[in-house]
């Protein structure tokens, strides 16, 4: 057995892991952040959660799936260091296989015992962007996230399904359609749950169908979801486009809020 010394980086990531990401649409990369980095990013996330009331993913508090704070990297210098962390960016770039820009970074919490499962979706329908092929999310665990704490589960290969089985875009959240309606084969596809230790990262392609379980433990599930979009991404009006309305439809993203990351 090969024991890897030091953290995972773009340089140490084996080719077969990159191939697996391209085939399956997700991959688990262990040991990306050190213990000290995890502690610093967790403390900064806790501070942000004390300062700002998080938004609820779900109808109301009783139906909450996730509590989240958007644009975390613009609200905390420490969390800026997470979204622009050279190891994270290097791994994202290697998996994506082409140039990217930072699109968003959210603190994602599932409260102990209360949080419901995160609904089945892919990210494409909720991104007000066009001209995408390699956009991906880095889901960074800041606590241990076993299955019982609400880790993500993915449908292998779902990022390769044809347009006819995808909801390309939502103009409002009312447009959300259950996955089995959009993709009739979905209920018969295997799902893979990916538990992570603090400091591990799971990457998924923007078309990969995913979900998360409830948090049935006594510990909050804290993670960051950082989206790196295709460098050539353009604005397309749709849901969650409040940060983009200064762009014209079809205009390429840019400016200091959407920096290229290599």
In the complex, the residues that contact ligand AKG under the rule CB under 6 A are 66, 108, 118, 123, 137, 139, 210, 212, 223, 225
Query: Between the CA of residue 109 and those of 56, 90, 171, 241, what are the distances in Å?
Result: 10, 25, 26, 22
Nearer to ligand AKG, 142 or 244 (CB): 142
Nearer to ligand AKG, 92 or 223 (CB): 223
DSSP secondary structure code for residue 245 in this structure:
T
> To the nearest whole angstrom, how small is the minimum distance from the Cβ of residue 118 to ligand AKG?
4
> To the nearest whole angstrom, how small is the minimum distance from the Cβ of residue 213 to ligand AKG?
9
Work out the number of other CB atoms within 10 angstroms of the CB of residue 193.
13
Work out the number of other CB atoms within 10 angstroms of the CB of residue 77.
9
> To the nearest whole angstrom, how small is the minimum distance from the Cβ of residue 149 to ligand AKG?
10
Nearer to ligand AKG, 108 or 132 (CB): 108
> To the nearest whole angstrom, how small is the minimum distance from the Cβ of residue 225 to ligand AKG?
3
> To the nearest whole angstrom, how small is the minimum distance from the Cβ of residue 139 to ligand AKG?
5
Per DSSP, which regions of the chain are E strands?
A: 26-29, 55-57, 66-69, 100-110, 118-121, 129-130, 136-141, 152-154, 192-193, 201-205, 210-212, 221-230, 234-235
Q: Which two tokens stand for residue 181?
A: 């309606």
Burial status of residue 50 (CB atoms within 10 A of its CB: 0-12, 13-18, 19 or more): exposed
> Helix (H, G, I), strand (E, B), or coil: what is residue 243?
coil
Nearer to ligand AKG, 82 or 223 (CB): 223
Nearer to ligand AKG, 123 or 230 (CB): 123
Work out the number of other CB atoms within 10 angstroms of the CB of residue 247.
19
Nearer to ligand AKG, 158 or 250 (CB): 158
> To the nearest whole angstrom, how small is the minimum distance from the Cβ of residue 3 to ligand AKG?
30
């Amino acid at each position: 057995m090969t024991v890897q010394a030091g953290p995972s980086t773009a340089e140490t990531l084996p080719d077969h892991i990159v191939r697996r990401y391209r085939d399956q649409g997700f991959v688990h990369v262990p040991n990306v952040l050190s213990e000290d980095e995890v502690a610093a990013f967790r403390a900064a996330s806790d501070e942000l959660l004390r300062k700002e009331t998080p938004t609820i993913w779900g109808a109301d508090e009783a139906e909450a799936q996730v509590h989240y704070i958007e644009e975390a990297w613009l609200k905390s210098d420490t969390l800026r260091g997470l979204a622009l962390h050279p190891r994270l960016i290097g791994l994202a770039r290697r998996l994506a296989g082409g140039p990217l820009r930072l699109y968003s970074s959210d603190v994602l919490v599932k409260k102990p015992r209360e949080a419901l499962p995160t609904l089945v979706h892919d990210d494409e329908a909720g991104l007000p962007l066009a001209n995408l092929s390699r956009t991906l999310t880095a889901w960074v665990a800041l606590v241990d996230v076993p299955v019982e704490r609400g880790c993500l589960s993915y449908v292998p290969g779902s990022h390769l399904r044809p347009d006819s089985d995808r909801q390309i875009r939502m103009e409002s959240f009312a447009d959300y359609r259950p996955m089995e309606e959009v993709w009739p084969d979905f209920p018969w596809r295997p799902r893979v749950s990916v538990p992570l230790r603090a400091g591990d990262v799971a990457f998924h392609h923007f078309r990969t169908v995913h979900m998360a379980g409830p948090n049935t433990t006594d510990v909050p599930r804290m993670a960051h979801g950082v989206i790196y979009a295709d460098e050539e991404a353009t604005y397309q009006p749709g849901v969650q486009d409040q940060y983009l309305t200064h762009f014209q439809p079809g205009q390429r993203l840019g400016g200091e809020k959407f920096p290229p990351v290599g």
